[in-house]
């Protein structure tokens, strides 16, 4: 079965559920221990965490599928040790993304997870995804590796990729290659989200309409929106290229 958009949205959400902190979804804090940890029909192949840099990611695959998902967690806080570490470190990483002072250590951890997945799953095709900071990390890794990516309510990494007034591009990609790479990157931005609309995105942008009460930054709300949209059962690769 091909990976569809709802699979990716759910993966970007369930990757928060491996520890109590839910970051943007404080109401889900108490139930996170028993929450779903993978999209329906998918297995958790393995995970990778680096609490020193606030990184967590998971690899998901359906049985007999030639595609798999790598989901990177966004900013997470909570009462568990992992959650506390992640919350503090992710805040620093958020700042680093916006000021472009240094390449976040979380990106190196994200590359490590990708390499581990390639070694284990061989010729199967990965799709990177993430919500918020996780989506930004997924986008950077996708640009650096020319892999497909689906980001949800992610802050822009355009200055890291294209360069800005003060800084040059941090991600070293030949300009002539960037256009073809961006064709494989999709950003789903929910209306009323203040994070994803800050400036030009890397890749294609699909805006999800919502009311003030159903919109915002939460990935729970993104999942609910996509479930009722035409994108729910749409294969990811039908939207790229």
Inter-CA distances, 220 with 23, 28, 86, 162, Å: 11, 10, 20, 31
- What is the mean pLDDT, run by run of 10 residues, along the chain of 241 residues? 96 83 48 67 92 87 96 70 44 48 73 97 97 92 95 87 63 77 96 80 94 92 96 96 69
Name, in order, each residue with C-beta under 8 angstroms of 49's C-beta and a sequence gap of 6 or more: 18, 55, 56, 57, 82
* pLDDT tens track for 26-74: 554 455 444 577 899 999 999 998 877 778 999 999 999 999 999 999 8
CATH second-level architecture of 5-23+43-230?
3-Layer(aba) Sandwich (3.40)
* pLDDT score of 100: 42
- The Cα–Cα gap between 152 and 135 comes to 6
Domain ranges of the chain: 5-23+43-230
């Amino acid at each position: 079965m091909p990976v569809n958009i709802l699979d990716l949205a759910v993966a970007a959400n369930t990757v928060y559920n491996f520890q109590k902190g839910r970051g943007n979804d404080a109401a889900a804090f108490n139930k996170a221990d028993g929450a779903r940890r993978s999209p329906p029909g998918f297995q958790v192949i393995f995970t990778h965490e680096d609490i020193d840099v606030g990184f967590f990611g998971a690899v998901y695959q359906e049985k007999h599928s030639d595609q798999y998902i790598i989901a990177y967690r966004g900013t997470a806080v909570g009462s568990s040790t992992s959650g506390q570490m992640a919350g503090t470190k992710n805040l620093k990483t958020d700042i680093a993304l916006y000021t472009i002072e240094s390449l976040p250590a979380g990106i190196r951890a994200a590359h490590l997870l990708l390499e581990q997945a390639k070694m284990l799953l061989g010729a199967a095709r990965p799709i990177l995804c993430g919500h918020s900071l996780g989506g930004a990390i997924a986008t950077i890794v996708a640009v650096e590796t020319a892999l497909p990516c689906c980001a949800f309510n992610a802050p822009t990494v355009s200055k890291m990729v294209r360069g800005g007034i003060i800084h040059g591009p941090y991600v070293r990609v030949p300009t002539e290659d960037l256009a073809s790479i961006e064709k494989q990157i999709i950003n789903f931005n929910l209306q009323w989200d203040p994070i994803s609309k800050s400036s030009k995105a890397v890749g294609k942008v699909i805006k999800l309409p919502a009311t003030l009460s159903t919109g915002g930054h939460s990935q729970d709300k993104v999942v609910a929106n996509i479930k009722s949209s035409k994108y729910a059962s749409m294969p990811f690769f039908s939207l790229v290229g």
